[in-house]
Amino acid sequence: MHGQPYQPVPYRPSRMSADESLVRARELRERMDERRTVRMFAPDPVPEQVVLDAIAVANTAPSGAHQQPWTFVLVQDPEVRRRIREAAEEEERLSYSGRLGEEWLSALRPLGTDENKPHITDAPHLVVVFQQRFALRPDGSSYKHYYVDESVGIAVGMLITALHLSGLAALVHTPSPMRFLSEVLGRPRNEKAFAVIPVGYPAPDAVVPDLVRKTLDQVVVRV
Ligand code: IYR
């Protein structure tokens, strides 16, 4: 793809009627409003194919120069999971005991988060998303990637949407700093950790913060 000439092909999807769009959009809006970030997972198994299909959806995300600058690492090895949890909790202990600062800590207070990250070892699946800051060819040469943060952010949005619509809960967890993930997972030097995403069913006794979403009027401006 990189450096190839422009060779477009026809795109003729069948058009949905406006009435059907209205029905589908309303249904989707209601379904997505049920999504909640979950921090307490049931240990029950989830077929890996559901997660792979959701990653395949994420892989359809638009990206800068269609470079798809993402890698999804599925971490199954319990020992690797344990090491990730240990390192994340060590960093978070420093964060919550002062590194974040009072303003950040008070923003987090209503969410009830703390330095304990049991979801890293306990959710049936763990997806660690890496952004490829640049492309690295097998011969060691490289070329630039564009709009990497935006591209990976969109892909992760599509991933959690796909997981939710497939009946699963997820958490976009960003331990900070995340450098340890590259070491533990042996990722190449062009990749930088973006998020740790445990996936599964909510625990039967799961609780979530009592959040209220902004209304459409609060987020839409018409010009
Ligand atoms: N990374 C920490 C803190 C944290 C930060 C934000 I912004 C959140 O929305 C939630 C947590 C943690 O994962 O606990």
Question: pLDDT (tens digit, 9 = 90+) per residue, 94-136?
Answer: 999 999 999 999 999 999 999 999 999 999 999 999 999 999 9
Question: Where are the domains positioned within the chain?
Answer: 39-201
Tokens of 102: 């009072």
Q: Contacts from 76-82 at CB under 8 Å and sequence distance 24+?
A: 76/125, 76/126, 78/121, 80/184, 80/185, 81/120, 81/121, 81/126, 82/121
Give the containing element (helix H, strand E) for 167.
none
Q: State if residue 108 touches ligand 1 by the CB under 6 angstroms criterion.
A: yes
What mean pLDDT do residues 10-37 have? Answer: 98
Q: State if residue 175 touches ligand 1 by the CB under 6 angstroms criterion.
A: yes
Q: State if residue 176 touches ligand 1 by the CB under 6 angstroms criterion.
A: yes
Mean pLDDT of all residues belonging to the chain: 97
Q: Which of 174, 181, 194, 208 to mutate to test the pocket of ligand 1 (most atoms within 8 A of CB)?
A: 174
% of residues, the chain, pLDDT over 70: 100
Q: How confident is the model at residue 2 (pLDDT cuts 50, 70, 90)?
A: confident
CA dihedral of residues 48, 50, 54, 56 (deg, nearest 10): 70
Q: Whose CA is nearest to atom 2 of ligand 1?
A: 175
Residue given tokens 């990250």 in the structure block:
117
Statement: residue 1 has pLDDT above 90: no
* CATH number for region 39-201: 3.40.109.10
Q: State if residue 173 touches ligand 1 by the CB under 6 angstroms criterion.
A: yes
For residues 73 and 76, what is the distance between their CA atoms, to the nearest angstrom?
9
Q: What is the pLDDT of residues 136-159, one digit of tens each?
A: 999 999 999 999 999 999 999 999
User: Measured from the CA of 113, which atom of ligand 1 is nearest?
Assistant: 14
pTM of the model: 0.97
What mean pLDDT do residues 171-200 have? Answer: 97
